[in-house]
Amino acid sequence: MVTLTDIERESYKNSPIHRLDPRVKLLFALAVILYVVSLPRIHDDNLVRLLAVEAYLIVLVLIAGLDLRYFILRILATLPFGLGIALFQPFLKPSFVENFTPFPLDLPFGLSMTYEGIAFGSSLLIKFLVCITAVVLLSSTTRLRDMVAAADRVGFPREFTLLLSMMVRYLFLFWSVLKRIKIAQQTRLFNIWNRDVPRKWVIKQVGYSISSIFIRSYEQGEKTYISMLCRGYGSGYDKVYYRGKIKAQDIFFLFFSAGCIVYIHYFV
């Protein structure tokens, strides 16, 4: 199971990708997503271009020295959301296609497939995979607080970065409370997967645990907010601890990656 602690542990590794400025990595991830989304919905070269971008991202993952098992698990955990949408496309008739070519396959319940639907569904799935890979690479090589500060310095709206900062803080708060509850349950020999215990009682205990998480997090949230105010939390607080400057290797990475994407688009 991949946890929040694992995500932060991976981001503390030391590699050429980890040492890049967070703003550069954020811009790179956004550029990849924008390029992938801007590709035509149905085109013969889409699949090759998308796979080439995915291969480039995998090379960056290897250079970063990330745990491949952890990396694949994170992608697989998110992939079903895109897979669920893409699987329906072969049976639908996209409005942007004028002429359909039926796929020669007899299906029950009057269902039919088209070549255009299959092409659109496969393109959609690969696009989703490339975007998720870029996001996982960014979050695995950048500490969360640096990512929020980088978004603020790049020019994201202040309200957005403030909400993102709060979300990061309270995600870890929730996770900390959940860990304490799990340890307390283990000391009482509570096991949710124990088949000898009535399921109704287990479900009731899980409900108690969820309500306990919210109540404890609410109380801890107030304490945390007061502590933040006491430590000088306010407008511009993130710029105090994040004063990194863009270096030559950051610019080289940005231009090299942009060149690779341009090359893939025009020559692959």
Percent of the chain with pLDDT over 90: 19
The DSSP letter of residue 91 is G
Which of helix, strand or coil describes residue 40?
coil
Co-location of 113 and 164 in the same domain: no
- Can you give the pLDDT at residue 235? 58
- Can you give the pLDDT at residue 157? 82
Which of helix, strand or coil describes residue 102?
strand
Is position 150 within any domain?
no
pLDDT tens digits along 142-177: 888 888 888 888 888 877 877 777 777 777 777 777
Which of helix, strand or coil describes residue 114?
strand
- From the number of C-beta atoms within 10 Å of its C-beta (0-12, 13-18, 19+), residue 186 rates as exposed
- List, in order, residues 6 or more apart from 134 with CB less than 8 Å away: 28, 29, 32, 33, 57
Is position 147 within any domain?
no
Is position 241 within any domain?
no
Co-location of 99 and 162 in the same domain: no
- Can you give the pLDDT at residue 31? 93
Co-location of 160 and 28 in the same domain: no
Return the structure tokens found at 240: 């105090």
Residue at token pair 């079903």: 80
Is position 84 within any domain?
yes
- Can you give the pLDDT at residue 30? 92
Is position 237 within any domain?
no
Segments forming the whole domain that contains residue 219: 155-231
Co-location of 69 and 103 in the same domain: yes
Residue 208 reports pLDDT greater than 80: yes
Query: What are the backbone angles phi and psi of residue 97, rounded to the nearest 5°?
Result: -105, 130
- Can you give the pLDDT at residue 62? 93
- Can you give the pLDDT at residue 132? 92
- Can you give the pLDDT at residue 216? 80
Co-location of 164 and 138 in the same domain: no
Co-location of 71 and 95 in the same domain: yes
Co-location of 41 and 114 in the same domain: yes
Co-location of 135 and 164 in the same domain: no
- Can you give the pLDDT at residue 247? 86
- Can you give the pLDDT at residue 1? 55
Co-location of 138 and 117 in the same domain: yes
Co-location of 137 and 160 in the same domain: no
The arithmetic mean of pLDDT across residues 228-240, rounded, is 64
Is position 236 within any domain?
no
Return the structure tokens found at 58: 């995998």
- Are 16 and 59 in contact by the 8 Å Cβ rule? The answer is no
- List, in order, residues 6 or more apart from 245 with CB less than 8 Å away: 21
pLDDT tens digits along 53-68: 999 999 999 999 988 8
Co-location of 32 and 106 in the same domain: yes
Q: Measure CA of the first residue to CA of the last residue in the chain; give whole Å.
A: 37
Is position 194 within any domain?
yes
Is position 148 within any domain?
no
Q: Is 237 left (phi over 0), alpha (psi -120 to 50) or beta?
A: alpha
Co-location of 260 and 225 in the same domain: no
* Counted domains in the chain: 2
- Are 42 and 262 in contact by the 8 Å Cβ rule? The answer is no
